[in-house]
Amino acid sequence: MGTSYSSCSHSTTTVSTHSLLLTHPKSSAFKQSRFPNPDFKFHSTHQIPQTHLRIMSQKPSQVLGGKVEVGETQEGVSKRPMIDFHGIDEGLVEKMVYDALVWSSLHGLVVGDKSVQRSGKVPGVGMVHAPFALFPMPFPESHWKQAYELSPIFNELVDRVSLDAKFLQDSLSRTKKVDAFTSRLLDIHSKMIEINKKEDIRLGLHRSDYMLDEETKQLLQIEMNTISSSFPGLGCLVSDLHRSLLNHYGEYLGLDSRRVPNNPAATRFVEALAKAWTEYNNPRSVILFVVQPEERNMYDQHWLSALLKERHNVSTLRKTLAEIDSEGKLRSDGTLVVGGQEVAIVYFRAGYTPIDYPSESEWRARFLMEQSSAIKCPSISYHLVGTKKIQQELAKPNVLERFLNDKEDIAKLRKCFAGLWSLDDSDIVKKAIESPGLFVMKPQREGGGNNIYGDDVREALVQLQKEGSEADAAYILMQRIFPTVSYTFLMREGVCYRDDTISELGVYGAYLRNKDKVILNDQCGYLMRTKVSSSDEGGVAAGFAVLDSLYLT
């Protein structure tokens, strides 16, 4: 697969550099990563007397005169190419940080600032740069290509599974008894079965997330996201940012900007939405973005809205579930109308977590949209396919064969499956209690911050055993993946941190089908997220990680 160098809808600009200063009453060194309450701030030179910034590492290392040391790490018997930033020139980092912050501001790599009360409701108020890594993360090109090749297979699998209503209901039947949120989703699904609701036009905008296990060198899937696959808008901007920085500083770093691959996530998602809108076949209809009342990640969504209008002349509408309940109605032919406008596509960027349904109003809105003839992205069945329990069921022997015919495709999927188990497997529960650090305990939740790690796994499992109820059906156990730890620089709220980190690769995919005709089935770019290695959780919006890009090795 070739590498190209233009990702998003705008051209990149290299901004002139200025010196950055770091001040603190006790030290001028980089602060160890403590994202929530940083003490240090960068200031420009005309504001304070000049103070030299020093990059401090865990081990003494020689400054390499502006060059990054590229080499091999060795942990036990395993080796992997990496880039060692311990010896990077301090003045170079100052300039790159300043340029990166300016670039982010000029190019819309922004989110709402949580310290500004209105930032989640009013565009243009209280903006701050999205959290990002200063350098792209080294990643083997072969595994990047593998993840891209898997995307169309997973897209097809989601569609096939979504059509098997009995499989979905049976697989989630125990979960339904103990998980109120999944139960409500299944109730809506059951009602659609009762009224024989057919989704002739099916649109999926997915993201499959992976980690590269250091010991086995295997690319292992963490989860499949079928609803609100976030950051296609901002993720491709980080790739552009890193190419811009390497175009300007790559000679000093010994890095080649051409090794940062093209990331067309925003344009590919928009093309899929526009194709689906065309299939709906009403040029006066709109695409409805279902959003949260307080949405600080609104600019990631606005990138898609802007591109839809500019490139395809498709208008969009943003509404919360409560607003849809108040303003929405169904015509006799099933047409969905919200705020007086006919809706062609319902694109969910909310509705994936219980907190999105604080009252019956939100559930009424969800049911209203599911009954309609609008294209749902995702439909209730696509949504259910993305649950952790279905992921675990699909990993069982002979289950994939129920949905896919191609043996090579099945083998490719199985190769990337991590260990997944139900909590009714007493042997694996015993192993998890004995060695909790080798497992992750996952509930049926999306959005980051929900998983259970370490000794908490043991405590949770022991407690469930004591209770002796069916509450264990709300969880699955998953093999814990241990990726390579890399030392890098992280930017959050204008502050540069450096720490040991691990990364997670997500590959976007789009699937569009009209009855028996598959119109689109392809990968749509990627999302790279990097977090400090001491953190268990990894969501960017939840505050655990930063956006990153790939440097192919």
Regarding beta strands 375-377 and 341-348, do their DSSP bridges make them parallel or antiparallel, or are they unpaired?
parallel
Q: Please spell the DSSP secondary structure of 318-363, one letter per residue.
A: EE-HHHHHHHEEE-TT--EEETTEEEEEEEESS-SSGGG-SSHHHH
Which is it for the CA torsion 334, 515, 400, 207, positive or negative?
A: negative
**430: Cβ–Cβ under 8 A, 6 or more apart, which residues?**
none
Asked if residues 126 and 113 have their Cβ atoms less than 8 Å apart, the reply is: yes
Give the Cα separation of 540 and 542 in Å (integer): 5
Give the 3-state secondary structure of residue 382: helix
Regarding beta strands 517-532 and 546-548, do their DSSP bridges make them parallel or antiparallel, or are they unpaired?
antiparallel
Report if residue 35 sits inside a domain: yes
Asked if residues 341 and 303 have their Cβ atoms less than 8 Å apart, the reply is: no
Report if residue 444 sits inside a domain: yes
Report if residue 285 sits inside a domain: no
Which residues contribute to the annotated binding site for ATP? 223, 388, 442-451, 453, 478-481, 504, 531, 537
Give the Cα separation of 242 and 35 in Å (integer): 22
Report if residue 514 sits inside a domain: yes
At position 140, the amino acid (one-letter code) is P
Which residues contribute to the annotated binding site for substrate? 207, 227-230, 295-297, 301, 349-352, 529, 540-541
Q: How far is CA 299 from CA 35, 131, 203, 302, in A?
A: 22, 13, 23, 5
Give the 3-state secondary structure of residue 537: coil
At residue 64, the pLDDT reads 36
| Angle at which helices 298-312 and 265-280 cross, to 10° | 60
- Residue 178 half-sphere exposure toward CB, CA atoms < 13 A: 14
Q: List residues with catalytic annotation.
A: 207, 223, 225, 230, 388, 442, 446-447, 529
Asked if residues 516 and 278 have their Cβ atoms less than 8 Å apart, the reply is: no
The Cβ of residue 463 has, within 10 Å, a number of other Cβ atoms equal to 10
Give the Cα separation of 85 and 81 in Å (integer): 13
Q: What is the 8-class DSSP label of residue 61?
A: -
What is the domain extent for residue 86? 6-150+208-237+393-552
At CB < 8 A and 24+ separation, what contacts does 126-129 make? 127/299, 128/493, 128/494, 129/101, 129/104, 129/105, 129/491, 129/493, 129/494
Report if residue 268 sits inside a domain: no
Report if residue 503 sits inside a domain: yes
At residue 533, the pLDDT reads 87
Report if residue 524 sits inside a domain: yes
What is the longest distance spanned by two Cα atoms in the chain? 74
End-to-end CA distance of the chain: 14
At residue 424, the pLDDT reads 83
Question: What is the number of domains present in the chain?
Answer: 1
Which residues contribute to the annotated binding site for Mg(2+)? 223, 225, 446
Taking only the tens of pLDDT, the chain with its 553 residues reads 444 334 464 433 333 333 333 333 323 333 433 333 333 333 332 222 222 233 333 332 323 334 444 444 433 333 344 566 777 888 999 999 999 999 999 999 999 999 999 999 999 999 999 999 999 999 999 999 999 999 999 999 999 999 999 999 999 999 999 899 999 999 999 999 999 999 999 999 999 999 999 999 999 999 999 999 999 999 999 999 999 999 999 999 999 999 999 999 999 999 999 999 999 999 999 999 999 999 999 999 999 999 999 999 999 999 999 999 999 999 999 999 999 999 999 999 999 999 999 999 999 999 999 999 999 999 999 999 999 999 999 999 999 999 999 999 999 999 999 999 988 888 989 999 999 989 999 887 665 567 898 899 999 899 888 887 778 888 889 999 999 999 899 999 999 999 899 999 999 999 999 999 999 999 999 999 999 988 665 556 555 789 999 999 9
3-state secondary structure string across 277-319: HHHHCCCCCEEEEECCCCCCCHHHHHHHHHHHHHHHCCCEEEE
Asked if residues 340 and 321 have their Cβ atoms less than 8 Å apart, the reply is: no
Location of structure tokens 């899929």: 272
At residue 264, the pLDDT reads 97
Asked if residues 538 and 504 have their Cβ atoms less than 8 Å apart, the reply is: yes
Strand partners, 498: 32, 489
At position 232, the amino acid (one-letter code) is P
Which residues contribute to the annotated binding site? 207, 223, 225, 227-230, 295-297, 301, 349-352, 388, 442-451, 453, 478-481, 504, 529, 531, 537, 540-541
Report if residue 485 sits inside a domain: yes
